[in-house]
A and B are shown apart, each in its own frame.
Chain A
């Protein structure tokens, strides 16, 4: 009777502590995307300057689809030079880099493009359809779409040159 009484309090508290420990160790921002290794949702994007491109036209080429915004500081500002460098390094091998500007003002977005001298196509997602279609819940998020049009990898947060290089190489 006495030992049973002593055990009941830890027995009640321990599961709660374990649950809390598990909860605090997981990052609520890391949500696994159900889209990885599925066919990429089709889209067409009208860049700020130039003709609109669609995913269908790009079939057979690896695509890096990057969601960003000019207000996304510092992550989008950190990765912009790496994206431009990857575009310069891999465009001759058929890789397409596309930037999707979400929930932004056009003037601010254009200033961002000017600041980093981004030369790959960048366009606004005016109704948010493209970002919802890709299950985007923040910026920056980047999808690596393989030649066959399936999503190879999704990156959440700022890209580095290393991540870009290794993930693009994996798609060849």
Chain B
């Protein structure tokens, strides 16, 4: 019982309460939208993070548009219509842009696969060695070993 009350309180404090209260507010929406837009006069800063005058003016503009009843999607579309998709820090999930979204995950999967393969091969070799069965030698080394043993024997 006490635990349920505690978790409910924690949920309220950590997540549900602040987002529930602020999600609809113009200030919160302005903040979220500004974080999605690239500040035109900065290097790799969002409109939300930049202290520049232009970013300031853009935040004012977002706030004004939201106050005038425009939806966040409409505000986003406005900035894209003026600056192009360049203004969005995250590319839209469509067409060629999918490469940017999926390639990192493909690379992670491929890397994990490669590591798994190497580990499994090493483990198989270790097991073979324990059983006393050695894996077949690389023919290059086998030939050389043979030749050197012969040399030794003479």
How far in angstroms is the closest Cβ of chain B from A111? 20
B84 within 8 Å of A (CB atoms):
yes
CB neighbours of A131 from chain B (8 A): 54, 57
Docked-complex contact B84 and A132, CB < 8 angstroms = no
**A128/B58 contact (C-beta < 8 A), A137-B40, A137-B41, A138-B40 known:** yes
B134 within 8 Å of A (CB atoms):
no
CA distance A34 to B88 in the complex (A): 14
**A132/B86 contact (C-beta < 8 A), A103-B53, A137-B41, A138-B41 known:** no
Among B67-90, those with CB < 8 Å from A are 80-84, 86
Among B81-104, those with CB < 8 Å from A are 81-84, 86
Docked-complex contact A127 and B84, CB < 8 angstroms = no
CB neighbours of A41 from chain B (8 A): 82
Among A26-51, those with CB < 8 Å from B are 31-35, 41
CA distance A34 to B54 in the complex (A): 20
CB neighbours of A137 from chain B (8 A): 40-41, 83
B28 within 8 Å of A (CB atoms):
no
Docked-complex contact A32 and B84, CB < 8 angstroms = yes
Docked-complex contact A103 and B54, CB < 8 angstroms = yes
How far in angstroms is the closest Cβ of chain A from B108? 14
Docked-complex contact B54 and A31, CB < 8 angstroms = no
Most buried by B among A32, A129, A136, A137: A137
CB neighbours of A134 from chain B (8 A): 82
Q: Which of A32, A33, A128, A133 contacts B54 (CB 8 A)?
A: A128
A94 within 8 Å of B (CB atoms):
no
Docked-complex contact B40 and A136, CB < 8 angstroms = yes
CB neighbours of A10 from chain B (8 A): none
Among A86-107, those with CB < 8 Å from B are 103
Binary B-proximity of A98-136 (CB < 8 A = 1, otherwise 0): 000001000000000000000000000001110111111
CB-CB nearest in chain B for A136: B40
Q: Which of A32, A128, A132 contacts B82 (CB 8 A)?
A: A132
Binding site for A on B (CB under 8 A): 40-41, 53-54, 57-58, 60-61, 80-84, 86
Q: A103-B54, A127-B57, A128-B53 are in contact. List 13 more A-B contacts (CB 8 A).
A: A32-B84, A33-B84, A34-B83, A41-B82, A103-B53, A128-B57, A129-B57, A131-B54, A132-B57, A132-B82, A135-B84, A136-B40, A138-B41
Instruction: Show 23 A/B contacts (Cβ-Cβ < 8 Å), sorted by A.
Output: A31-B84, A33-B83, A34-B80, A34-B81, A34-B84, A41-B82, A127-B57, A127-B60, A127-B61, A128-B54, A128-B57, A128-B58, A131-B54, A132-B57, A132-B58, A132-B61, A134-B82, A135-B82, A135-B83, A135-B84, A137-B40, A137-B41, A138-B41
Binding site for B on A (CB under 8 A): 31-35, 41, 103, 127-129, 131-138
